[in-house]
């Protein structure tokens, strides 16, 4: 209510509407992906969940591939935000070891979803250098807080490597290893790397 008239550099009303519309669709799609899994999410269910027509969906994202690519970006951004400023223990406020373990478990689940989104977006092998560099920086920061010394870039890479989609995909979808066992294995690795 601070200004009732559009300011000079406000986006035009149509553009603001379009952006809100886009956000609503992406939020609805991400919600469905998280609750039902990528394979069960169709253009129809997303349109219904977002309260828009199917035509709008196709106009904005061209295809299911296009939508899934946009959901992938949205999900990565939301995940980074929850690491930077979300509630503890993933976000700030918890001791560094708790944050590191929460980070690994959360990254594991996010990467499994992202592997499906990447496949659904028709971009096999896609792997975001920016996302990777964010994750590496965060792990290096926590290792520093834990008083670990040495080549932290290499140690952070070693902790992130077992969370790579290609490794998780093999363990979960080919070897049928449970997420609980993978998490426990990662926790063990972290304790060995950090030391006592």
∠ Cα 154 157 159 (to 5°): 115
Q: Does 188 bind a copy of itself (CB under 8 A)?
A: yes
Chain mean position to CA 129:
14
Which is it for the CA torsion 88, 91, 96, 99, positive or negative?
positive
Question: How many residues are listed for the chain in this entry?
Answer: 196
Only segment of 1-9, 14-22, 83-91, 122-130 that touches a copy of itself (CB under 8 A)? 122-130
Q: Does 173 bind a copy of itself (CB under 8 A)?
A: no
Q: Does 179 bind a copy of itself (CB under 8 A)?
A: no
Q: Does 137 bind a copy of itself (CB under 8 A)?
A: no
Q: Does 157 bind a copy of itself (CB under 8 A)?
A: yes
Instruction: State in angstroms the smallest separation of the CB of 86 from a copy of itself.
Output: 26
Q: Does 124 bind a copy of itself (CB under 8 A)?
A: yes
Only segment of 45-53, 75-83, 98-106, 145-153 that touches a copy of itself (CB under 8 A)? 145-153
The contacts of residue 92 (CB under 8 Å, 6+ apart) are 84, 85, 99
**Alpha carbon distances (Å) from 124 to 65, 103, 107, 114, 188:** 12, 25, 19, 11, 31
Residue of the chain from 10, 16, 127, 178 that contacts a copy of itself (CB under 8 A)? 127
Residue of the chain from 16, 19, 40, 132 that contacts a copy of itself (CB under 8 A)? 132
CB 57 within 8 A of CB 25: yes
Q: Does 76 bind a copy of itself (CB under 8 A)?
A: no
The contacts of residue 76 (CB under 8 Å, 6+ apart) are 110, 114, 128, 131
Residue of the chain from 17, 167, 173, 178 that contacts a copy of itself (CB under 8 A)? 167
Q: Does 193 bind a copy of itself (CB under 8 A)?
A: yes
What is d(CA 93, CA 86) in angstroms, rounded to the nearest whole number? 10
∠ Cα 138 142 143 (to 5°): 115
Which residues of this protein are in contact with a copy of itself, per CB under 8 A? 124-125, 127, 129, 132, 150-151, 153-155, 157-158, 161-162, 164, 166-167, 170-171, 174, 177, 181-182, 184-186, 188-189, 192-193, 195
């Amino acid at each position: 209510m601070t200004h009732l008239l559009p300011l000079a550099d406000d986006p035009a009303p149509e553009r603001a509407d379009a952006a809100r519309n886009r956000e609503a669709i992406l939020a609805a799609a991400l919600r469905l992906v998280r609750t039902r899994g990528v394979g069960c999410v169709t253009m129809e269910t997303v349109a219904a969940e977002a309260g828009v027509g199917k035509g709008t969906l196709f106009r904005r994202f061209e295809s299911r591939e296009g939508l899934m690519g946009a959901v992938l970006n949205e999900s990565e951004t939301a995940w980074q935000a929850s690491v930077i400023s979300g509630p503890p223990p993933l976000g700030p406020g918890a001791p560094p070891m708790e944050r590191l373990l929460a980070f690994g478990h959360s990254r594991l689940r996010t990467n499994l979803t992202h592997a499906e989104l990447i496949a659904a977006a028709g971009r096999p092998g896609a792997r975001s250098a920016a996302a990777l560099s964010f994750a590496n920086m965060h792990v290096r920061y926590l290792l520093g807080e834990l008083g670990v010394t040495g080549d932290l870039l290499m140690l952070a890479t070693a902790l992130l490597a077992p969370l790579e989609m290609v490794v998780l995909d093999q363990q979960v979808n080919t070897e049928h290893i449970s997420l609980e066992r993978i998490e426990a294995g990662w926790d063990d690795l972290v304790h060995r790397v950090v030391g006592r």
